[in-house]
Structure 1
Amino acid sequence: MAPSRIDTPQTQSSVLPPSKDLKPTVDDGYGSYHPVDPDTLDLQSNFGPMEPGSVGYLQPTSFDTPLEIMHERYERDGYLFVKKCIPRETSLSCRRAYFEHMAPSGLLKPGTDAVEGTFSGADTRKYMPPGNLRRLFGLKDDPESDKYVELMVSAHEAPFYVDFCQCPELRQFVSRFMGWKKPQMLQRTMLRAFVPNSELTPVHFDQMYLRAGPPTSLTAWVPIGDVSLQGGGLMYLERSTDIGMKTEQDFADNAHNLTDEERISAFNKNMNDGGFLSRDTVAFGKETKRKWLIAEYEAGDVIFHNPFMVHASCKNKDPENKIRLATDVRFVDPEKPYDKRWMKVYRPLDGL
């Protein structure tokens, strides 16, 4: 039976069986095994290297793992990292089409195959995702940046991406896992490319942006192509749904000075400018005394997370200079209340 609500506080449980997809070398304490000690990796935050002992690994789950175990892992950890959830070729086809779409912006190294997504090495600031980060950095418009932003925004409605978001294997998994007859994907999705050494994804949790509905959405973060351990893939603060829940409760308790419209906004005067918890992943991990959990993602993998789960990324330090491409899509049960502001295509600085 699927969870009736997905904001349930985490429960402690015995160690669950490791995934079949793992290489048995380094035990992470969760019964999972990984090939590399994370302290040996070049993992960089916005303010310097990640400190020794501050990083661990996400626990992968095989696609054919019994549903009961999947539910237990999700409730315990706040995420479910499903290996080979969608066809690898579906992911790689979208990756190739995206970089062919973006090629006029100068994003790719000349003479390379688009599916590789090899960065041109140009000024990384020109390729910062449009929206609040560009605004906070005070980036001025110029022809190259304008072309990049134009193409990146238009990609959200390009046929190759719309088809990718309609992936039947993804919807079938969400239906099976959540017990929803016909999951509704929110129309506002986030398609993001992070070039090597650029600004990283700040610390946040999703519900702060979905406050006009109850915390019942399910986010699917989908890498489009492979993402190496140092490639800036999404990372999660271990067992942190309680932090997200407390943050939202504190916000609600202190919202007496806000209008109804401000109460449902992540960008009101009681929040950080930009709507995130922090840009300093190292300091945030220290303050909460929890590790950041990373993974090597393969094309076809999907990670699902609770709307209160705290997450961020490291800088993309991919050794082959590959661009990290991924999207996050959100599903709801259309028969229940949800944040209908998200039923529109993404536009930079659209208030969400």
Structure 2
Amino acid sequence: MLTSNGYVLDERRLSELAAVPDLERTDLPVLRERLQRDGYLLLRGLLDPQDVLDFREYYFNLTGTATDRASYRQALFEQIVPGPEYAAFCARLKGWFEWFLGGEPFLHRRKIIRQTAPGENGIGTATQAHYDLLYLRGGSDQVLSAWIPLGDCPVSRGGLTYLERSHHRVLAEEAAGTLKRPAASITADLPALAEQYDANWLVTDYAAGDVVIHTAHTVHAALDNVSDVMRLSTDIRYQRAEDPIDTRWQAHWNDRDGL
């Protein structure tokens, strides 16, 4: 049984998140067409798994000694987020984005690390359904997000789930000006949203080294962590450097930055 924010996902509205086949991974036109069609690219083993596990260890070495919320926030926002180790880790995708975008890539400075403890559930504990353009109105709508599980992340650990081909409906309603959404999450009720969109939630077991690239219009959310292991992930955003850039996203991430 899978849940998100305490809502039980209907098994009839679940499908598998499909990985890009090996034969397509170096075919740029096919890869771009696939992203346009599906709204996401699941790239197994795009990063070296050891690099991912090393960063996970670095993170917990710094935060594991925190005895209270204040010391945890200090380690996260004053050491890890602005630190050279995190910058170097995120820069490992620069070459891929340069190839895929066909030009100089730009990495948004606001990069987010998400930690979810086992057993956390109820509204407000998992990332609610949204698409990234809700938060990135000040620049290009061609921003691509990379979601990176920092360690193995089976569905029981609370990985990302994507609403099947939802970007087509979002794009159409954005263009028509009929999409009435808050400037934040759409909803925590994933089962109801699947019915509204007449679409399935796509899920899979992620492994260290996997990366999911998704468009700014693709609806996604997180599952609850019902395992006994801490779920850790990061999401970062690249775009072409020559396109308009949302200036609000050019400071290091802080959970009180209002974005």
Regarding TM over 0.5, the answer is: yes
1:3-42 to 2 correspondences below 5 Å: 42=1
TM-score (norm 1): 0.67
Q: 1:292 to 1:252 in 2, by over 3 A?
A: closer
- For the residue of structure 1 that corresponds to 2:36, the secondary structure is helix
Alpha-carbon distance in structure 1 between the residues aligned to 2:197 and 2:112: 27
TM-score (norm 2): 0.90
Native 8 Å contact 1:45 1:282 kept in 2: no
Alignment correspondent of 2:236 = 329
Q: Which structure's CA Rg is the greater one?
A: 1
Alignment correspondent of 2:199 = 290
Q: Give how far 1:349 is off.
A: 2.7
Q: 1:79 to 1:88 in 2, by over 3 A?
A: same
Match of 1:152 among 66, 69, 76: 76
1:59-78 to 2 correspondences below 5 Å: 59-62=18-21, 65=24, 66-78=27-39
Native 8 Å contact 1:208 1:248 kept in 2: no
Alpha-carbon distance in structure 2 between the residues aligned to 1:302 and 1:62: 14
Native 8 Å contact 1:222 1:327 kept in 2: yes
- For the residue of structure 1 that corresponds to 2:11, the secondary structure is coil
Native 8 Å contact 1:63 1:85 kept in 2: no
Q: Which runs of 5+ in 1 are unaligned?
A: 1-41, 107-143, 255-269
Alpha-carbon distance in structure 2 between the residues aligned to 1:338 and 1:152: 26
1:185-334 to 2 correspondences below 5 Å: 185-198=107-120, 199-246=125-172, 248-249=174-175, 271=182, 275-318=184-227, 321-334=228-241
Native 8 Å contact 1:63 1:84 kept in 2: no
* AA matched with 1:188: R
Task: Give the CA RMSD over aligned residues.
Answer: 2.0
Q: 1:253 to 1:222 in 2, by over 3 A?
A: closer
Using CA pairs under 8 Å that are at least 6 residues apart, name the structure with larger relative contact order, 1 or 2.
Answer: 2
Alpha-carbon distance in structure 1 between the residues aligned to 2:112 and 2:22: 24
Q: 1:160 to 1:253 in 2, by over 3 A?
A: closer
- For the residue of structure 2 that corresponds to 1:230, the secondary structure is helix
Alpha-carbon distance in structure 2 between the residues aligned to 1:341 and 1:62: 36
Alpha-carbon distance in structure 2 between the residues aligned to 1:224 and 1:236: 18
Native 8 Å contact 1:220 1:305 kept in 2: yes
Native 8 Å contact 1:237 1:292 kept in 2: yes
Native 8 Å contact 1:62 1:84 kept in 2: no
Alignment correspondent of 1:173 = 96
Q: Which runs of 4+ in 1 moved over 3 A?
A: 246-254
1:57 correspondence with 2:9: no
Alignment correspondent of 1:93 = 54
Q: Give how far 1:146 is off.
A: 2.4
Q: Give how far 1:63 is off.
A: 5.4
How many percent of aligned residue pairs carry the same amino acid?
31
Native 8 Å contact 2:170 2:179 kept in 1: no
Cα shift readout 1:268-293 (whole Å, capped 9, x = no counterpart): xx726xx1101111111122111110
- For the residue of structure 2 that corresponds to 1:242, the secondary structure is helix
Q: Give how far 1:201 is off.
A: 0.8
Q: 1:308 to 1:253 in 2, by over 3 A?
A: closer
Cα shift readout 1:247-285 (whole Å, capped 9, x = no counterpart): 54576887xxxxxxxxxxxxxxx726xx11011111111
- What count of residue pairs does the alignment treat as equivalent? 252
Alpha-carbon distance in structure 2 between the residues aligned to 1:283 and 1:323: 28
Alpha-carbon distance in structure 1 between the residues aligned to 2:248 and 2:9: 36
